[in-house]
Amino acid sequence: MSSSVEAITVLSSDGDEFKITVSAAKLSKPLNWMLEDVCFSDDCDEVPTIEVNSKTLVKVIEYCEKHAPRANSGASDSDAEELKKWDIEFMKMDVKDILFHILMAANYLHMEGLYDLACQTAADLMKGMTVSQIRKIFHIKNDFSSEEQEQLRRQHPGCSFD
Amino acid sequence: MAITEILPRECVCKIISFTTPKDACRSSAVSSAFKECADSDETWEAFLPSDCRDLISRSSSPNLISLPTKQLYLHLSDHPLLLADKTMIFSLVKESGKKCYVIGGKGLCVIWGDTPLYWNWICDPHSRFPLVAELDHVWWFEVKGSLNIKLLSPKTQYDVFFVFSYADYSDGFTEAPVNFSISKAGEVRSLEVVIDVRELDVKPREDLWLEVKAGEFFTEEEEGEGLVEFRAWQTDAHIKEGITIEGIEFRPTMNE
């Protein structure tokens, strides 16, 4: 591989091209392996495909580029605080439209930081919610029979299952 | 599509493990696929303090270890566990999974406690300990104890309670307050409380014991080796008689 390249081009599952800096790509284990295995010098025209749709990939790359400087060099507490605020803003997104896809992409790309952040975001959405609200947030259909529901109520008398 | 159809099972488990035990219990009623994740060992391992299994293996009920994690968690929050030769009780706060301890009389240092003239060790049906300390009479009332800080939940505000009961003939505690002191890592905090029920507005707890707050402290994220030390004393010239000590309770402050 060549170390002279600063950014690489990748394809989304929709076939769109995206640029990502090498230092940002290193946040993903599979991308990092790819960097080590594949030739990315200027005279190499191989463009790897990432099985993530364009809309999601834009967000994933945005996250990587923001977090790469800190991941590669460490950072001060004030930077960490700033990054935390940025993460909160970054995660303000529609659940079904994009959060699910971010979760899948972070899982597929082995990005621990983004995966934990997205899981925490989803968890915060369901905290304190009723059962029917949780179903609504995560687009889940109630598949319990009325007998099963009655049994669940008995098992957890303190919980509201409305 | 539902979250459970799109995301891998371990992802849904992780999301639920980032909520609270109460949310996780409620989640089991969402759908059958969601229930499978909400009840899983992976999810509940996040709520169970990491040293729980070690405590259980050294307790009087080591067989609990084989329970599925959710059942184990719920069991420990409903059924306190006897530890350290039955001198200490451990339980979990159901809502938060934080650790709660009671050091019984036999786990404390009761001054004159080995002299039957002054203190009797009796079996009390309301106690969770095999024996409790019943005061006959004493001039020098002093009880001391300590707990390893590492046993407590990190980053938690704890209240310390003196748990006791009163006999009809009790006497000697009205004249002067009982002094309480709590010291953590050398930092001492003292409190003076009159523990006479006639003087103090104390309501019996569900288990019929009385409690007075003896102090409070906060545990850090990473605590080193060290002790939280407790001391209660009332050593004025009056004779003191007729109280029974269940123990000293270390309980996470409720509003957390």
Q: Do B29 and A161 touch (CB under 8 A)?
A: yes
Q: What pLDDT score does A39 carry?
A: 60
Q: What pLDDT score does A74 carry?
A: 62
Lowest mean pLDDT, pick from A70-79, A115-124, B148-157, B177-186: A70-79
Say what the ipTM of the complex is. 0.86
Nearest CA in chain B to A128: B23
State whether residue B10 is helix, strand or coil. helix
Report the pLDDT averaged over residues A130-140: 92
Q: Where are the domains of chain B?
A: 1-47, 99-252
Which residues in A lie closer than 8 A to residue B46 (C-beta atoms)?
none
Q: What pLDDT score does A35 carry?
A: 78
Closest CA to B113 of B147, B88, B84, B138: B138
Q: What pLDDT score does B100 carry?
A: 96
Q: What pLDDT score does A161 carry?
A: 52
Q: Do A107 and B3 touch (CB under 8 A)?
A: no
Per-position DSSP letters for A97-139, written without gaps between them: IIIHHHHHHHHHTT-HHHHHHHHHHHHHHHTT--HHHHHHHHT
DSSP for residue B84: T
Cα of A124 to nearest chain B Cα, Å:
7
Q: What pLDDT score does B236 carry?
A: 86
Read off the CATH number of the domain in which A106 is found.
Answer: 3.30.710.10
Same fold? B1-47, B99-252 = no
DSSP for residue B116: T
Q: Do B27 and A149 touch (CB under 8 A)?
A: no
For the full predicted model, state whether its pTM sits above 0.90.
no
Report the pLDDT averaged over residues A23-34: 86
Q: Please give the radius of gyration of chain A, using alpha carbons only, rounded to the nearest integer.
A: 20
Domain residues for the domain of A92 are 7-143
Q: What pLDDT score does B207 carry?
A: 87
CATH, domain range B1-47: 1.20.1280
Q: Is the pLDDT of residue A42 over 70?
A: no
- A148 lies in some domain: no
The residue ranges of chain B whose pLDDT is under 70 are 196-201, 255-256
Residue A1 binned pLDDT confidence (cut-offs 50, 70, 90): very low
Q: Is the pLDDT of residue A146 over 70?
A: yes
Q: What pLDDT score does A157 carry?
A: 64
Which residues in B lie closer than 8 A to residue A103 (C-beta atoms)?
7, 11
- A109 lies in some domain: yes
Cβ-nearest to A139 among B2, B16, B32: B2
- A29 lies in some domain: yes
Which residues in B lie closer than 8 A to residue A120 (C-beta atoms)?
18
Between these two residues, A156 and A11, which has the higher pLDDT value? A11
- A155 lies in some domain: no
The number of folded domains in chain A is 1
Closest CA to A98 of A82, A81, A121: A121
CATH, domain range B99-252: 2.60.120.260
Nearest CA in chain A to B27: A131
Residue A2 binned pLDDT confidence (cut-offs 50, 70, 90): very low
Q: What pLDDT score does A158 carry?
A: 58
Which residues in B lie closer than 8 A to residue A130 (C-beta atoms)?
26
Backbone angles phi, psi at B182, to 5 degrees: -120, 130
